[in-house]
Amino acid sequence: MKRFLLGLGLAFFVAACDDDESSFVRPGDEDSSSSVIPGSSGDLSSSSVTPQSSESETSVSSSSSKVPEPVEGSSVTPKSSSSVRSSSSASVEDLSSSSVRSSSSAPVEDLSSSSAKSSSSSAKSSSSAKSSSSESSSSEYVPFDHSQTLAGAWRIGEDRYKTFKDPRNGRSYYYITIYSEYKGYSVTVMAENLNIGDMVLGENDQNDDTKIERYCYNNDTTKCDEFGGLYQWAEMMQLPSRCNTESCADLIQENHQGICPDGWRLFTYDDYCVVMGYEDINNDGVKGLRSTYGFSGTNTSGFSLTGAGARTIEGGGDFLKKSVFWFYPREHDYDKTVYSTVGYVSATNNRAPQSDDGELKTAGFSVRCTKLEE
C-alpha cells in the first residue's frame, strides 16, 4: 500500500523498529485508515510572550504537583561549528494577552465643606481601587502546570521523574529514564516538549540565523507554554536556514545537539525504539506513550506525549490536541534537499511511527531532547 499525505506533505512508509524493510508512499494512494494532513492557515494575530519557569535539577515524585516558578532570562544559543549562526540571546517577557491590566479609577464624588463627605469619598475611593486591583490580578495568566501531563506514581513507580533547568532561559523541564526490554538498555529523555526562542509569526519562515526562533500554535504563546515551541528542521538542527531547501547532510553530526541544551542531544528514531520498548504489561503500545491529559493515552511508559499540533507549510496551525509531530536529525532519502524523517502520533489511533515517515523541512514541529550518557 502506498500513500502520501498532503497539506503538511507528510509521507508515510512502512518500517517498524524491528523491521528493516520499507516501502515509499507516493501521492494519490491514500486510504481511509490514513490521517490526511490538510494545509490550513490559522489565526495569525500576534500574541504575548509566554512566562518561563525555573527549577534546579532534582528528583521529582511522579505524583507531585509542584509547579516551577516563573522567571525571566535570556537564552544563549549553542551552534554547530559548521553553522553560520552566531550566538545571541532570545528575550522572554513574562506577559500574556490575558495579563494586561485594565486601568482603574476611584469613583469621584461631589465635594462639600463637610469633612464627613470628604472622608467618605476617600474611603469609597480606596475600596473601589482595591476591588479593581483584585479583579485585575485574578485575570493574570497562570503558567501551565506540566505535572498534569505526567504519569502518576501508581502507574510507573515512585520518583521516576526529575527536573532540569535550561540555563539559557531558566525554564525547567521534566525528564525520565525509560528502559527497553526489547533493546536491553535505556535512554533518558525529556517528558515534555522544548520551549525556547523568540516567537515569529507562523506566516514567516525561521530564517534569522543569529538567534533561536520558535512558532507558537496559531501565534498564541500560551500554547508554547503548555505544548512547547514548534520549529522548522534547520532551526531544530541549529543549521543555516538554507538547509530547509538544500541538503546539509555533511553538517549533521553524531549525537547532534541542535537546539537542545548543553548535555543533551536531539531525539532520534533509535531513541523512539527504546522508548517504545517500555515495560508494556497491558499491551498499550503507542497508547502508552500518550499522556492521559487531553491526549487519550494511558502513559504507562511515562513519555507523556501531548497533542501539540503543528505549524503547517502554509503557516497556520492544525491538529492541536489531536496529534504530535517531531523531526529527526536526518534528511529523507527521497529528497534530501527539502524532506526530513519525522515521528507522528495521533490521539485517534495507535499507529506507531515508522523509520521512513517523511515531511517537508519547512513545517513546524515539536522537539524532544535526549540526555547524553555520562
Over range 309-323, report the average pLDDT.
Answer: 97
Instruction: Determine contact, residues 193/231, Cβ cutoff 8 Å.
Output: no
- Confirm whether 366 is domain-assigned: yes
How large is the greatest C-alpha to C-alpha distance in the chain, in angstroms?
94
Helices (H) and strands (E) in the chain, counts: 5, 15
The three-class DSSP label of residue 330 is strand
Residue 167 clears pLDDT 60, i.e. is over it = yes
Instruction: Determine contact, residues 253/360, Cβ cutoff 8 Å.
Output: no
Cα 356 to the center of its chain, rounded Å: 22
Give the pLDDT of residue 16.
Answer: 65
Partnered with residue 343 across adjacent β-strands are: 326
- Confirm whether 107 is domain-assigned: no
Partnered with residue 115 across adjacent β-strands are: none
- Confirm whether 133 is domain-assigned: no
Calculate the alpha carbon distances from 374 to 11, 188, 263, 275, 371 in Å. 36, 11, 9, 19, 9
Mean pLDDT of the chain: 75
Instruction: Determine contact, residues 356/238, Cβ cutoff 8 Å.
Output: no
Instruction: Determine contact, residues 164/57, Cβ cutoff 8 Å.
Output: yes
Cα 160 to the center of its chain, rounded Å: 21
- Confirm whether 243 is domain-assigned: yes
Residue 168 region by backbone torsions, left for phi larger than 0, else alpha for psi between -120 and 50, else beta = alpha
Give the pLDDT of residue 8.
Answer: 52
Q: What would the DSSP string read from start to end of 169-209? A: T--EEEEEEEE-TTTSSEEEEESS----SEE--TTS----T
Give the pLDDT of residue 253.
Answer: 98
Which tens digit of pLDDT belongs to each residue from 194-220? 999 999 999 999 999 999 999 999 999
Give percent of the chain above pLDDT 90: 61
- The range of the structural domain enclosing residue 301 comes to 52-88+147-371
Which tens digit of pLDDT belongs to each residue from 298-310? 999 999 999 999 9
- Confirm whether 39 is domain-assigned: no
- Confirm whether 222 is domain-assigned: yes
- Confirm whether 125 is domain-assigned: no
- Tell the burial category of 26 from Cβ atoms under 10 Å away from its Cβ (0-12, 13-18, 19+): exposed
The three-class DSSP label of residue 235 is helix
- Confirm whether 315 is domain-assigned: yes
How many structural domains are present in the chain? 1
Residue 334 CA to residue 26 CA, distance in Å, equals 10
Instruction: Tell the residue number behind the cell numbers 540555563, with chain if given.
Output: 167
